Amino acid sequence: MNRTLRSQKQTIPVALTIAGSDSGGGAGIQADLKTFAAVGVHGASVITCVTAQNPKRILGVQPCEAAMVAQQLAAVFEELPPQAVKTGMLYSAEIVWAVVEFFAGRKKRPPLVVDPVLVATSGSRLLETEAQGVLQRELLPMAALVTPNVQEAQSLTGCPIREPEDMRRAARFIWKRFGCAALVKGGHLEGVRQAIDVFYDGRDELLLAAPFIKGRSLHGAGCTYSAAIAAYLALGCPLAEAVRRGKMLITQAIARSARVAGHRVLKPGK
């Protein structure tokens, strides 16, 4: 069989991101789609918000109507049913409910990775207080995995996190309370020499460590990490293996980051 016929028969899995658009191209929908392409899956997207932002700050947020979010979801699932889904910035309670109601109405849903985006690096709030309650009560119980950073894990558990052992307790607390696996990311943990993440799914616990690269705390790293996990799930990897591979990808993307107009930008790849 020649190369042309072989390529025509190849089927590429679909991964879906439900998130906000980043006009600076470093996070959100843009980061997710770049990551999907790097892993080798087709990226579909549902845009929840349009943001005016750059690597330093967010100038404005314009949320989409919840009905439009639901319509985008329907359009994607009609012709491009994804093998895995991730959520990022959801912003409002109405948008969270639109996502919840869409997936609740499906008999079979693909694995869902929830990146509980609460606050931007610049300090701007990206999930309204009421929306956080809906996310915790309604969306997390549907998820295969939630991927909070230290600050987000503290918000979900109500407990301070100062060291890796606290991350272990937080991951177990999240699994017990919400019924989904947890990946607590320690990239923002102070006083450590390694970037340590803890995964727990009710049975297996993984301690994922990589050298901490000073000066490389990059805009969009959380988006890229969760998107990589979703992409590997779409390729058929078991959850723990998808997490391992996602950790490798984000570590390499940080190490390979390049300067763009004076800002460091992630370069995801296999």
Q: Please report whether residue 4 resides in a domain.
A: no
Cα(224)–Cα(232) distance, integer angstroms:
12
Please answer whether residues 19 and 28 qualify as being in contact, where contact means their C-beta atoms are separated by less than 8 angstroms. Answer: yes
Asked if residue 186 lies in contact with residue 171, where contact means CB atoms within 8 angstroms, the answer is: no
- Within-domain flag for 65: yes
Greater confidence, 19 or 9? Answer: 19
Residue 165 forms part of a structural domain: yes
Instruction: Name the percent of the chain lying above pLDDT 70.
Output: 88
Angle at CA of residue 156, ends 31 and 68, nearest 5°: 50
Dump pLDDT digits (tens) for 87-104: 999 999 999 999 999 999
Q: Which of 1 and 159 is assigned the larger pLDDT?
A: 159
Distance, CA of 53 to CA of 48 (rounded, Å): 15
Domain contains 8: no
In a domain, 231, yes or no: yes
Residues 6+ apart with CB under 8 A from 78: none
Question: How many other CB atoms are found less than 10 A from the CB of residue 163?
Answer: 14
Residue 172 lies in a domain: yes
Q: What is the CATH number of the domain that holds 201?
A: 3.40.1190.20
Query: Looking at the domain assignment, is residue 230 inside a domain?
Result: yes
Is 84 domain-assigned?
yes
Residue range 45-87, pLDDT digits in tens: 999 999 998 888 889 999 999 999 999 999 999 999 999 999 9
pLDDT (tens digit, 9 = 90+) per residue, 187-203?
Answer: 767 767 788 999 999 99
Which tokens in the block code for residue 89?
Answer: 């910035």
Which strands sit side by side in the sheet containing 14-22, from one edge to the other? 58-63, 42-53, 14-22, 84-87, 112-114, 145-146, 181-185, 194-200, 205-211
Looking at the 3D structure of the chain, how many domains does it have? 1
Answer for the pair 226, 185: CB distance below 8 angstroms, yes or no.
no
What is the percentage of the chain residues whose pLDDT exceeds 90? Answer: 69
> Could you list the residue range(s) of the whole structural domain that residue 195 is in?
14-264
Residue 3 has what pLDDT?
Answer: 56
* Tokens 């892993």 found at: 39
pTM for the model: 0.92
